[in-house]
Amino acid sequence: MSEPSSLPTGAPTSGAPVGPDLADLLRASARGDQVAFAQLYDATAARVHGMALRVVRDPAQAEEVTQEAYLEIWRTAARFDPSRGSALSWLLTLTHRKAVDRVRSAEAASRRDTTYHQQNQPIDHDVTAEQANASLEARRVRGALASLTAVQREAVELAYFGGYTHTEVATMLQLPVGTAKTRIRDGLIRLRDAMGVGQ
């Protein structure tokens, strides 16, 4: 699949309402439909840019992350699985990863600018063990998330990985605030049980 001849540039200035056809637009984009991809961009760009800005906290960087996210969406649209959550949740999760990667890259560049002495301080802990523990913990979290229902996982991902408030989650999922809170609470309880927290 070739990339679209031109992606919209610049940060979106206003949020278009997100319609219920995002999944259809993603499927069409996966088949190389550039018109559908442009419609997907128009419908979601404000949300995607908002997510990028929330993480990187720099408008210019957020614009770059937004463009990178849409290139990735164009290339990987076929991977969207509606049984695992909404199209919007999938787009925002992908954008969140791109934004976090950008932050980590900037932090790595900053570390490279430190002095030789600072870079060569003796390590007083077992890095290999620490990395192994982090990997095991990430696997536990992924396994626990997989145990949630699709609606619980979607709400929890938006609230805790996306950083949205209960009210924002309710608006994005077109739910009453009370229902959104219930899904988030039930999802967290199930996560806690799946991970054995407090046991």
34-54 pLDDT, tens digit per residue, is 999 999 999 999 999 999 999
Evaluate if pTM is beyond 0.85: no
- Chain-centre distance for alpha carbon 132: 24
The class that CATH gives domain 130-194 is mainly alpha
Measure the CA–CA gap between 175 and 177, rounded to whole angstroms: 6
Domain 1-111 in this protein, CATH class: mainly alpha
Across the range 127-140, mean pLDDT stands at 63
Q: How far apart are the C-alpha atoms of 104 and 99, rounded to whole Å?
A: 9
Domain range annotation of the chain? 1-111, 130-194
pLDDT exceeds cutoff 70 at 6: no
